[in-house]
Amino acid sequence: MIRECLAFGNNVCGNLDPTNQSPILKQPANVTEAIKCDEIIWHGWSCTFGRGERFDVSGLNIPDNQSGGFWAWGVDPLISDPGRINEIHFLKPVKRVLGFDRPLGCLAEDGQVHSFEGAISSERWDDVALTGLGGAYAFRSEL
């Protein structure tokens, strides 16, 4: 299912619409259509993560041998090549990317939380959220 995402505002880091060179998006831009992604799964000040098998790599400064999966753009240290849309590889299938200002980890489909520094939770969760003040909330239906 495709979920369209409109973006406007501060695009200085290229974290809203990587196809638009304007630092300020004054009119809403359909980001999912511009880059042909199925959905935006996480957005922060430093970057945006998208998911989809239909990314259009032609004319977007993306290496031709990459396709599908998770993609990120912006200026976060996780992005190896700022100014380009980067394919992101996770060790396990992912339900959600976690973070507030910047991505910090992910909730895998098996319920484990993985940090981008390599830590893995000892518990399994149904859902997890992080706040901007450092708090983390986790939910497990069988508690």
Nearest to 47 by CA among 2, 4, 88, 6: 88
What local confidence, expressed as pLDDT, does residue 64 receive?
42
Q: Is the residue at 60 inside a domain?
A: yes
Could you tell me the residue range of the domain that residue 115 belongs to?
Answer: 94-139
Domain tally, the chain: 2
Gap between the terminal Cα atoms of the chain: 31
Domain closes at, from 49, 66, 88: 88
Give dist(CA 82, CA 85) in Å, integer: 8
Report CA 115 to chain centroid distance, whole Å.
14
Question: Does residue 57 lie in a domain region?
Answer: yes
Q: What is the C-alpha separation between 126 and 47, in angstroms, rounded?
A: 25
- Length of the chain equals 143
At 111 the pLDDT is 95
Render each residue's pLDDT in the chain as its tens digit; 143 residues: 677 889 999 999 889 988 888 999 999 999 888 887 888 889 988 899 988 765 555 555 444 434 447 889 999 998 888 878 888 888 888 898 999 988 999 999 999 999 988 899 999 999 999 888 888 899 999 86
The phi, psi pair for 71, rounded to 5°, reads -135, 150
Asked whether residue 70 falls in the same domain as residue 98, the answer is no
